[in-house]
Structure 1
Amino acid sequence: MKSIFKVALTVLLITLVSYPSQAQASKYKCMLQMSNYMGEGAYIVVSLINSKGEYEKTLYVMGDDKKWYKSLKEWNKFQAKKHEDVSAISGASVTGGDRSVTTFEIEDSKINKGYKLRFESAVEDQKYHVNDVEIPLTTAGLADKTDGKGYIRYVKLIKI
C-alpha cells in the first residue's frame, strides 16, 4: 500500500511541475497598414496599457535599432525603468504605404478589464504620435478594425 501511495504522489508531483504557472493567454495576428507618408521607416511599439493608463508590458516593437528607441518618448521612459528585453519581440521598421503582419500574445485575464493596446509611432525628423492607435481590450474592440491618427492607417487583430 505504501508503494502505491509513493507512486501516486510521485506522479502527482511530476504532473504539477510539468505544467507552467503562467496565466492563460491567446495569440493574436496583428495586421498593420501604414498611411502613405514620405520619409524613413516608422518605429512602432505595441504596449499593454492598464486601466490607470500606465504601461504594463511591451508586446512588440517594429524597428530593431536600439538607438532610435528614444524617439518613442513615452514608451522609452517606461523601458528605462523596466529594462524589458525586447530583442525577441522586435522586427523591422515599417515604411509609408507598407503592411506589417506580426503575432503576439495577450493574457485572457486582461480582456474586458479596462486594459488597452497602444500603438506608439515615430519617424526620424517628423512628428511623434504617442497614441497613433489605441484599441480597448474588449471583446468588441479586438474584433474591430481601428483607424490610426498618424503614420498608421489602421490596425486589425485576429485571434488565432
Structure 2
Amino acid sequence: MKSILKISLVGALLCLLSFQATAQSSKYKCMLQMSNYMGEGAYIVVSLINPKGEYEKTLYVMGDDKKWYNTLKEWHKFHSKKPTNISAKTGASVTGGDRSITTIEIEDSKINTGYKLRFETAVEDQKYHKADLEMPLTSAAIAEKAEGKGYIRYVRLSKIQ
C-alpha cells in the first residue's frame, strides 16, 4: 500500500513539474508597413534575440523561396548552424509601400527580461539591413509603434486576447 502511495505521489509531482515547465506564450498580431522603395520584394526575418545579443529563435520569415535566405546574412549563419523547420513560419515577401499582417508567438517569460525582436531585411541587388528594426521586448515597447531604419517604415504589435 505504501509503494502505491509513493508511486502516485511521484507521478503527481512529475505531472505538476512538467505542467510548470511548459512555457506560457502569447500571440501577437504584427502589422508591418514598408517604406516606399523601388525594387523587388523584401525578405524579412523576425528573430528573438537574447540579452547577450545572440539569435535564439526564428519567429517568422517573410519570403518563402529558400534560395534567397542567404541574403539575410546574419540570420542565415544562425539558421545554418541550428536548422529548424520554419515552413509553418513563412509567408510572402513584402514589396515597397505594402503592408503585411502576420501572427507571431512569444514566450511570456521573455518579456521584460532583456530580450529583443530583430527585423532583418534584404532586397535583391540592394542594401542589406542586419537590424532594420530592433525593439526591446518590454511591455512598454510592445505597446508602441517602432520605426524602421531601412525598408521597414514601422511595426506595430498588438496582443491577441
Q: Does TM, normalized by the shorter one, top 0.5?
A: yes
What is aligned with 1:37?
Answer: 37
Q: TM-score, normalised by structure 2?
A: 0.89
* Counterpart AA for 1:148: G
- Partner SS, residue 114 of structure 2: coil
- Whole-angstrom CA distance in 2 between matches of 1:109 and 1:64: 29
- Whole-angstrom CA distance in 2 between matches of 1:19 and 1:117: 27
What is aligned with 2:69?
Answer: 69
Number of residue equivalences: 159
- Partner SS, residue 78 of structure 2: helix
- Partner SS, residue 56 of structure 1: strand
- Whole-angstrom CA distance in 2 between matches of 1:114 and 1:59: 17
Cα RMSD, aligned residues only: 2.3
Per the TM alignment, residue 84 of structure 1 is displaced from its structure 2 partner at its CA by 1.4
- Whole-angstrom CA distance in 1 between matches of 2:20 and 2:108: 16
Q: TM-score, normalised by structure 1?
A: 0.89
Q: Give 1:43-82 correspondences, 5 Å limit.
A: 43-82=43-82
What is aligned with 1:94?
Answer: 94
- Whole-angstrom CA distance in 1 between matches of 2:21 and 2:94: 35
Structure 1 segments unaligned to the other structure (5+ residues) = none
Question: Between the two proteins, what is the percent identity of the paired residues?
Answer: 75
Structure 2 segments unaligned to the other structure (5+ residues) = none
What is aligned with 1:156?
Answer: 156
Q: Work out whether 1:130 is the aligned partner of 2:97.
A: no
**Deviation above 6 Å: which 4+ runs of structure 1?**
none
